[in-house]
Amino acid sequence: MSEKHFDVIIVGGGHAGTEAALASARMGCRTLLLSQNIETLGQMSCNPAIGGIGKSHLVKEIDALGGAMALAADQAGIHFRTLNARKGPAVRATRAQSDRALYKAAIRSVLENQQNLYIIQQSVEDLVVTGDRVEGVVTQMGLHFYASAVVLTVGTFLGGVIHVGMEKQQGGRAGDAPSNRLASRLRELPFNVGRLKTGTPPRIDGKTVDYSELQAQPGDEPRPVMSYLSTGEEHPQQVSCFITHTSEKTHDIIRAGLDRSPLYTGEIDGVGPRYCPSIEDKVVRFADRSSHQIFIEPEGLKTHEIYPNGISTSLPYDVQLALVRSIKGFENAHITRPGYAIEYDFFEPRDLQSSLQTRHLAGLYFAGQINGTTGYEEAAAQGLLAGINAARQVQELTPWCPDRSEAYIGVLVDDLITLGTKEPYRMFTSRAEYRLVLRQDNADRRLTEQGHSMGLVDDRRWRLFSEKLSGIETLSEKLSKHWVQPGDDRVEAFTGKQLSREYNLLELLKRPEVEIKALLAALDMDNNNVAESEQVEIDVKYAGYIVRQQQEIDRVKSQQDLSIPSDLDYVAVAGLSNEVSQKLCAVRPETIGQAARISGVTPAAVSLLLIYLKRHKASAALKSA
Amino acid sequence: MYEKDTITALATPLGKGGIGVVRVSGPLVELVAKEMVGELPKSRVAAYRNFLDAQGTVIDQGLVLYFKAPNSFTGEDVLELQGHGGPVVMNLVVARVLELGARLAKPGEFSERAFLNDKMDLSQAEAIADLIDSASSQAAKSALRSLQGEFSKKVNSIIKGLIELRVYVEASIDFPEEEIDFLDNPKIGEDLDTLVEKIDQLIEQAGQGALLREGVSIVLAGRPNAGKSSLMNCLTGQDTSIVTEIAGTTRDVVNELIHLEGVPVRLIDTAGLRKGNNPVEIEGVRRAEKEIALADYVLVVVDLNAHRLDLTAHIDELLATLPKVENYIVALNKADLWQPEHVSEKQVLVSAKTGKGVDDLRALIAEGIGLRVSSEGTFIARARHLDALQRGIQSLVRGQALFGNNTAGELLAEELRSCQQALGEITGEFTSDDLLGTIFASFCIGK
Ligand SMILES: Cc1cc2nc3c(=O)[nH]c(=O)nc-3n(C[C@H](O)[C@H](O)[C@H](O)COP(=O)(O)OP(=O)(O)OC[C@H]3O[C@@H](n4cnc5c(N)ncnc54)[C@H](O)[C@@H]3O)c2cc1C
Ligand SMILES: Nc1nc2c(ncn2[C@@H]2O[C@H](COP(=O)(O)OP(=O)(O)OP(=O)(O)O)[C@@H](O)[C@H]2O)c(=O)[nH]1
Ligand SMILES: [Mg+2]
């Protein structure tokens, strides 16, 4: 093979790009990863944390499919917490504060050791397009590389503009050049381009922070892990976070600075995320709040820099400094890097197929921030999916698109391609209607087998997973055969009253007050595999709900499986209103199920589509006969 | 094959007292037959049976017909129940089928299934498409009508309450690190209880079952000598009330039960409303006002002859004194003497003397209190809405049991979501993105 020809090319070495490159290479494709700068592979542009509600669900799915993010987070995590620990398992989540440098190093090492993967430091400036197909890319040095599938994951770099107060400058993120050539080239192609905005807080020298009055927040014990393969032994030294608050004085300073805020003077037109508002937004929109919470997060073990989570801002530097110093503990703080807002191009995600291939150019896939999302986890999940489907295209296989009932990855992609987005899209558990089924604890049970059959999962993971499955089976079998009698006080200590009849242990577990761990301990039964007994317990406790959700899933599934030809002429469908056929034209749903989820598409419209498709198919069959 | 759920609907437009057919199609047909008529009849052989409710009480009697798949209209198992109990009774039959696990068919859905299951030939595709199109716009109109007035206000206030609750519950799940502990608020539990109560009441009030059991009360009200007592006698077909040409004849409250479309209706004749100085008459007016306040509907009786010049003003003046703005009908009486050029909605020309227009008055009353049905009429639309409320409240009641158990926050959330999904069939969808939007608008969230 020549140095110019590859199976799959990935452009961009952020969170989307690295997972895409790794997936494609794991599946056996000769893969080229092109990124502006090898030193920034796997760089976290913003806060030094992986996971969180909804996000760790994505990370664990990536892990279940053999991806790198969870393992890297375990190697770099310096503070772990389980969120929603007091709530049920479906909404529990894991977050790892990460040492930026360790994280980057972990990702870099996986990339360098991946077979079939080639990395070249080059900035891509053009695509090689023939007809309506992409065949390769051209870099800033004029190098040409060819492949039958190209995955674009260039993050916030397209036409990136950085704002600090009324000053603005071009940049892909602080310290990196934007990708303007590529951006203008993409604007010439038939894509719908929009602008979004996001922001980051100033960083502070931790040596200038007075922690004495601040509330410390240690990590959780026992310490959670992100990857199923991790034990916790790979975690580096652990440190605490701290909490402080803004004051009325802070808010006065911000109000006085609004006349030089690019957000409030109309300099920025890109739409920012509602759930990640800048501090100036919070002060203006919730004027009655006298204080806002700030989490002080360490940037790493070998640096003093800290990340004050909660004061993202694009106010001018002098206002930033004053507002920081009005906060308890920060009275003498020194800002090492000013906060800023960044505006960038993104592409209308409704122009994508569920494989993440673009509808306009065959062989071209988009993943990550350029599809209108925000967040490392959202980017990595899409990267993984795009990498898988680019590889499958090369292998002449049909795309793999998990649906909403299988994975948060499916929810993410379906939301994007069906509903589009008006603001940077972040995952929340409330976006998943099958939340009770899509848990972080069962990501492997949902996905690892599929990952294995696609060639994404290595032997070690497969062996551990298979052992876990059979462990779960053995344990539930054992519990269903273990009977306890009325009068057995080891058991009645839990139930609080005498058993009415003979029970097996699986039945007993259905009761909310009976916990598997305590039950096994009381009966002197061995219980050393927590992951397995946890699955047995959840299966039993959620059983009723899971059955109900499964019924709903099955009902929707019959529609989900009915596909719609991509070139369907909606105008010809009898009875469809103009409005509905326009909406369908814009999204071009792949299945009846997706069509039904487009807002404004009524059940009657779905019926009309079904009838049209049926007639169409029959007359096509007639013609070919 | 196509969707596996079972659908049901009234298959024929229901007229007054005619035969109504409830059709059921899908896998639950056998169960429905066993539960409602005791057994699955032989395919294609009509049998005369009692139709039973959940308690085994007879709802109606009539013919039952079973068509085994694929030899049926839709190509699935089909059951037809033909009864003559009138719309309210037929609707109870539908309600029982729903209770057994079927869902109400979408407009045109039987034909749609027939087509998709190859029971109709391709040339009929256009016709089916037209049918679905027109049936669903008709249904949309009826749904709007069902949603008018008090019902709509109550449904909307229920939806609002539900969204408020969800905002708290979902925020506590997706934003656990905020300084507010959303679920710690005891108000949440109270709000949940209130919501259940409200839906319960609404189902009770709007339910046709209640109508059938308890009937409705209609007060005849108007100025002295308008002809209230005469109309009462026309409607009851008896000399229940004393009629004279003296204004102020009726003093006490007079009651009589009649049946309209099989539903008991209590008519109440009262003293003519005016400021008198005779203590007996003053007491009569006081009683009349009390009845008006309590009644489900008011039949406002107007003397056309006496108000040739100020008819509109006179009617407006009378309506202004009514407690329930929506629930009235105006009888323009003495139409034998004079008639206005224009008669508006909710008004009917009638003469107690000649009997002309009394049938129209009956029809208007029936329609006004929700007994009249045109093909996919208000009645069915209301049944759809009640079905949705019914499913909604089931979820909430399960949610009540979960509340207070912090580890079950996501289960409570799931019940609230199902409830919203059901109520969404009445008022339109409320997406997870709408929900997140409401959360961000209500709380300062995010780092
Ligand atoms: C200022 C700022 C604030 C943010 N705030 C938050 C936040 O609060 N919360 C949150 O969840 N997320 C936040 N993010 C978003 C988060 O950083 C991104 O969602 C995530 O990094 C996206 O991953 P990606 O792989 O799509 O792109 P990126 O991580 O941006 O990676 C893009 C990669 O492409 C490379 N590249 C760019 N152009 C080219 C080219 N032409 N040729 C070759 N390589 C190229 C770059 O060098 C880089 O390696 C923020 C980002 C920024 C910049
Ligand atoms: N021409 C004509 N006369 C009518 C009609 N209806 C009632 N009347 C006459 O109007 C007079 C009053 O009738 P009632 O029925 O007693 O009136 P009311 O409203 O009950 O009067 P009060 O009980 O006194 O309040 C009687 O003489 C009736 O015969 C009608 O439709 N046409
Ligand atoms: Mg009278």
* pLDDT tens digits along B241-266: 888 888 888 888 888 888 776 667 88
- Candidates B2, B410, B411, B417: best to mutate against A (most CBs of A within 10 A) is B410
Residues of chain A in contact with residue B425, where contact means CB-CB under 8 angstroms, are: none
Q: In what order do the strands lie in the sheet with A133-139?
A: A124-130, A133-139, A144-146
What was the pLDDT predicted at B1? 38
Closest-lying ligand 2 atom to the alpha carbon of residue B245:
27
Q: Which of B202, B16, B17, B208 is nearest to B94 (CA)?
A: B208
Q: Is A16 touching ligand 1 by the criterion CB < 6 Å? A: yes
Q: Is A152 in the pocket of ligand 1 (CB under 6 A)?
A: no
Q: How confident is the model at residue B403 (pLDDT cuts 50, 70, 90)?
A: confident
What does DSSP assign to residue B309? Answer: T
Asked whether B278 and B271 are in contact (CB, 8 A), the reply is: no
Residue closest via CA to ligand 2's atom 8 equals: B227
User: DSSP letters along B384-416, please?
Assistant: HHHHHHHHHHHHHHHHHHHTT-GGGHHHHHHHH
Question: What residue type is A361 in one-letter code?
Answer: L
Q: Which ligand is nearest to the CA of B349?
A: 2
Residue A156, ligand 1, Cβ within 6 A: yes
Average pLDDT (A327-352) is 96
Ligand 1 center–CA A369 separation, angstroms: 7
Whether the predicted pLDDT of B3 surpasses 60: no
Query: Distance, CA B198 to ligand 1 centroid (Å)?
Result: 49
**pLDDT digits 0-9 by tens, A568-599:** 999 888 888 888 899 999 899 999 989 988 98
Task: From B235, B243, B281, B307, give the residue whose CB has the most ligand 2 atoms within 8 Å, as the site to mutate.
Answer: B243
B312 Cα: distance to centroid of ligand 3 (angstroms): 23
The residue nearest atom 27 of ligand 2, judged by CA position, is B245
pLDDT digits (tens, 9 = 90+) for B48-58: 999 998 888 88
- Residues that place a CB less than 5 A from ion ligand 3: B 229, 249-250
- Between the alpha carbon of residue A615 and those of residues A619, A620, B122, B128, B136, the distances in Å are 6, 9, 6, 12, 21
What is the spatial distance between Cα B173 and Cα B181, in angstroms, rounded to a whole number? 10
- Structural tokens at position B367: 């329609």
- Closest chain A C-alpha to B65 CA, distance in angstroms: 27
In angstroms, how far is CA A620 from the centroid of its own chain?
A: 42
In angstroms, what separates the C-alpha of B173 from chain A's closest C-alpha? Answer: 7
Tell whether ligand 2 has an atom less than 6 A from the beta carbon of residue B223: no
User: Does the pLDDT value for residue A145 go beyond 70?
Assistant: yes
> Is-contact A229 A71, C-beta < 8 A?
yes
pLDDT-derived band at B65, boundaries 50, 70, 90: very high
* CA B12 to chain CA centroid, nearest Å: 19
Q: Which of A103, A141, A369 to mutate to test the pocket of ligand 1 (most atoms within 8 A of CB)?
A: A369
* Structure tokens, A312: 């993202």
pLDDT in tens, A383-419: 999 999 999 999 999 999 999 999 999 999 999 999 9
Please indicate whether, in this complex, the C-beta atoms of B408 and A599 are within 8 angstroms of each other.
Answer: no
What is the number of other CB atoms lying within 10 angstroms of the CB of residue A554? 12
* Contact: A53, B175; criterion CB under 8 Å: yes
Residues 6+ apart with CB under 8 A from A176: A36, A37, A40, A157
Residues of A in contact with B133 (CB under 8 A): 574-575, 604, 608
**B197 Cβ partners below 8 Å, 6+ apart?**
none
| Cα B80–chain centre separation | 23
Phi, psi of A265 (to 5 degrees): -110, 5
> Considering chain A, what is the average pLDDT of its residues?
93
Which residue does chain A place closest to B442, by CA atoms? Answer: A286
What does the pLDDT average to over B317-325? Answer: 80
Min Cα separation B99/chain A (Å): 17
Q: How many angstroms separate the Cα of B12 from the Cα of each of A503, B74, B139, B202, B359?
A: 53, 16, 15, 28, 24
In the stretch 359-418 of chain B, residues with CB closer than 8 A to chain A read: 405-411, 413-414, 417
The answer, yes or no, to whether residue B375 has pLDDT greater than 50, is: no
Per-residue pLDDT, averaged over A554-577, amounts to 84
Q: Tally Cβ neighbours within 10 Å of residue A532.
A: 20
DSSP at B335: T
Q: Which residues of A touch B445 (CB under 8 A)?
A: 275
pLDDT of residue A169: 93
What does the pLDDT look like over B272-319, one tens digit per residue? 888 878 888 888 889 888 888 888 889 999 999 999 999 999 999 999
Q: Which domains does chain B have, with CATH numbers?
A: 7-120 (3.30.1360.120), 122-428 (3.40.50.300)
Contact B407 A610 (CB under 8 A): no
Question: Using CA atoms, how far apart are residues B301 and B220, in angstroms rounded to an integer?
Answer: 7
Contacts of A480 (CB under 8 A, 6+ apart): A504, A505, A506
pLDDT of residue B148: 63
Instruction: Write the DSSP string, A435-467.
Output: TTTS-STTHHHHHHHHHHHTT-S-HHHHHHHHH
Judged by CB atoms closer than 8 Å, whether chains meet at B130 and A277 is answered as no
- Write the pLDDT tens digit of every residue in A162-185: 999 999 999 988 888 899 999 999
Structure tokens at B434: 């709408």
Segment A532-545 shows an average pLDDT of 91
Q: Considering only CA atoms, which residue is closest to atom 20 of ligand 1?
A: A376
Instruction: Give yes or no for residue A379 CB within 6 A of ligand 1.
Output: yes
Ligand 1 contact via A55 beta carbon (within 6 Å): no
Q: Following DSSP, what letter does each residue of B95-141 receive, concatenated?
A: HHHHHTT-EEPPTTHHHHHHHHTTSS-GGGHHHHHHHHHHHHHHHHH
DSSP label at residue B226: S
B128/A611 CB distance under 8 A: yes
Ligand nearest to the CA of A15: 1
Q: What pLDDT score does B116 carry?
A: 84
Q: Which of A612-616, B183-187, B380-384 is the most confident on average?
A: A612-616
Cβ contacts of A277 on chain B, cutoff 8 Å: 444, 446
Other beta carbons within 10 Å of B280: 11
Residue B85 phi/psi, 5° resolution? -80, 5
Tell me if chain B has a CB within 8 Å of the CB of A187: no
Range of weakest confidence among A333-337, B131-135, B219-223: B131-135
Residues in B closer than 8 angstroms to A574, CB to CB, are: 125-126, 129-130, 133
- Is residue A12 a contact partner of residue A155, using CB atoms and an 8 Å limit? yes
The reported pLDDT for the residue numbered B374 is 41
Length of chain A counted residue by residue: 625
Locate A143 and state its tokens.
Answer: 């190098």
Ligand nearest to the CA of B227: 2
The two structure tokens encoding residue B278: 């005779």
Instruction: Give how far B110 is from chain A: nearest CA, Å.
Output: 11
For the whole model, what pTM was predicted? 0.83
Find the Cα–Cα–Cα–Cα dihedral A120, A122, A126, A129, rounded to 10°: -10
Per-residue pLDDT band at B86 (split at 50, 70, 90): low
Cα–Cα distance between A239 and A219 in angstroms, integer?
A: 7
Residues forming beta bridges with residue B82, ordered by sequence position: B21, B63
Q: What's the pLDDT band for B376 if we cut at 50, 70, 90?
A: very low
Confidence bin at B2 (pLDDT 50/70/90)? very low
Q: How many angstroms away from the CA of A431 is the closest CA of chain B?
A: 6
Query: A232 CA to chain B: closest CA distance, Å?
Result: 24
CB of A171 sitting under 6 A from ligand 1: no
- For residue A622, the model assigns a pLDDT of 66
